[in-house]
Amino acid sequence: ALILATTAVAVFHLPVETIGSRFGGVPASLPALTVPDLSWDSARHMLMPAVTLALLGAIESLLCARVADGMVGDRHDPNQELMAQGIANIASPLFGGMPATGTIARTVTNVKSGATSPVAGMVHALTLLVVILVAQPLASAITLATLAAILMFVAWNMGEWREFTRLGSYRVPYRVTLLAVFLLTVVVDLTAAVEFGIFAACLTFIYRISNLTRSERMTADVYPALAGREADIQVWRLYGALFFGAVKLIEQLEDHLPARTLVLDMKNVIYVDSTGAEELENLVHACHKAGVRLILCGLMNQPLDIARRTGLLGALKEELQPDVAAGVAAATGSEPAPPAAG
């Protein structure tokens, strides 16, 4: 299509814009090495724009690599991708170049043509080099209408349209995010769409994790040693993550303390952030003020590490137990026993 359209325009002298007429042609030689005149004042003003470009470039390149992974059934190395891109973007300005990223359009075109490895990118670069050095006049005659048609064809092939037929199986926040990112990509640009998508995904993640974080009270049906003592001893099992979006669980425990002992099973708590750790410290102080004994059970991994670093372990001293059975035994003065079946 490219060859036929370009030939037709050249033979019949059709009034169609070409690369040469629109942009002044394609350079016939490589740019010379130029060391930029960089001063502290100019570097200071360019720092934040440079960081912004680097972040957006990294996001777009990793997104492009992710799309390629899905098409060829492979897995890319993100560290290798970003290191190579960083080195290239440091060297490019020395030859008059601009910051560049991996682009989805060219990547999808390569994959659709049978490419399965980074060699395709090298061949692409060498092909452009040959065009610049040898076929510059021919490249200048390529029509913009032909390039636009090719880009439309590539865009149609790279669109995963089947995802829209599965919208009904997604939750509402995911539907809104997908449709909003799609519209922003078409109406604005990819950068704005990615920024909004990351922001929306963060909000959705916080919402989902806060809903998954919950508490469950253990009764005498589970631990018979609590029979007749549930007014004095409360045993709660926590699930999920204690972070700024879910500390209300701890606040509710502070508002409804038992008469004597509070046992918290944290075996199923996977993460505690600084806000969660602070709220646990507030619970310790509230229990101390009310004369209630607090026993923590099952602390491990990240929650154990943050409890150690915040001094929570030192504050509780002997009130730490390996599991909830040992915690119930310590609270009731009985021998540790496994939970009742059923």
- 268 occurs within a structural domain: yes
Q: Which among 316, 252, 239 is positioned nearest to 279, based on CA atoms?
A: 252
Same domain assignment for residues 129 and 148 = yes
- 341 occurs within a structural domain: no
The whole-angstrom separation of Cα 113 and Cα 273 is 48
Quick one: tokens of 205?
A: 């993640």
- 129 occurs within a structural domain: yes
**Which of the 8 DSSP states describes residue 341?**
P
Same domain assignment for residues 189 and 150 = no
Q: Binning pLDDT at 50, 70 and 90, where does residue 8 land?
A: confident
Q: Check residue 280 and give its pLDDT.
A: 92
- 316 occurs within a structural domain: yes
Same domain assignment for residues 253 and 222 = yes
The whole-angstrom separation of Cα 81 and Cα 104 is 14
Residue-wise pLDDT for 312-332, tens only, equals 888 887 788 888 999 998 888
Q: In 35-152, which ranges are E strands? A: none
Q: Check residue 336 and give its pLDDT.
A: 62
Residue-wise pLDDT for 42-62, tens only, equals 888 888 778 877 888 888 888
Residue type, 240: G
Overall average pLDDT of the 337-342 stretch: 58
Q: Are 315 and 277 in contact (CB under 8 A)?
A: no
The percentage of the chain sitting over the pLDDT mark of 90, rounded to a whole number, equals 20
Q: Is beta strand 214-218 parallel, antiparallel or unpaired with respect to 233-242? A: antiparallel
- 286 occurs within a structural domain: yes
Residue 337 scores a pLDDT above 90: no
Q: Binning pLDDT at 50, 70 and 90, where does residue 181 land?
A: confident
Distance spanning both ends of the chain, measured CA to CA: 71
Same domain assignment for residues 26 and 139 = yes
For residue 281, give the CATH number of its domain. 3.30.750.24
The whole-angstrom separation of Cα 1 and Cα 150 is 9
Residue-wise pLDDT for 70-110, tens only, equals 888 888 888 988 898 889 888 888 888 888 888 777 787 78
Residue 341 scores a pLDDT above 60: no
Q: Are 12 and 152 in contact (CB under 8 A)?
A: no
Q: Check residue 313 and give its pLDDT.
A: 83
CA angle 67, 70, 76 (to 5 degrees): 75
Same domain assignment for residues 150 and 12 = yes
Edge-to-edge strand list for the sheet holding 214-218: 214-218, 233-242, 261-272, 293-297, 320-321
Same domain assignment for residues 6 and 132 = yes
Q: Binning pLDDT at 50, 70 and 90, where does residue 262 land?
A: very high
The whole-angstrom separation of Cα 126 and Cα 259 is 78
Q: Quote the domain boundaries for residue 63.
A: 2-158
Start-end of H helices in the chain: 2-12, 19-23, 40-72, 78-91, 104-112, 119-133, 136-140, 144-158, 162-165, 172-187, 190-212, 248-255, 274-290, 301-309, 312-316, 324-332
Same domain assignment for residues 192 and 118 = no
Same domain assignment for residues 38 and 103 = yes
- 340 occurs within a structural domain: no
The number of distinct structural domains making up the chain is 3
- 342 occurs within a structural domain: no
Same domain assignment for residues 47 and 115 = yes
Q: Which of 176, 209, 242 is the last residue of a domain?
A: 209
Quick one: tokens of 41?
A: 């004042």
Residue-wise pLDDT for 144-157, tens only, equals 888 888 888 877 77
Overall average pLDDT of the 117-131 stretch: 84
Output the CA torsion sign for 69, 73, 78, 79: negative
Same domain assignment for residues 130 and 38 = yes
Unique residue bearing structure tokens 């865009």: 155
Same domain assignment for residues 107 and 221 = no
Same domain assignment for residues 239 and 100 = no
- 285 occurs within a structural domain: yes
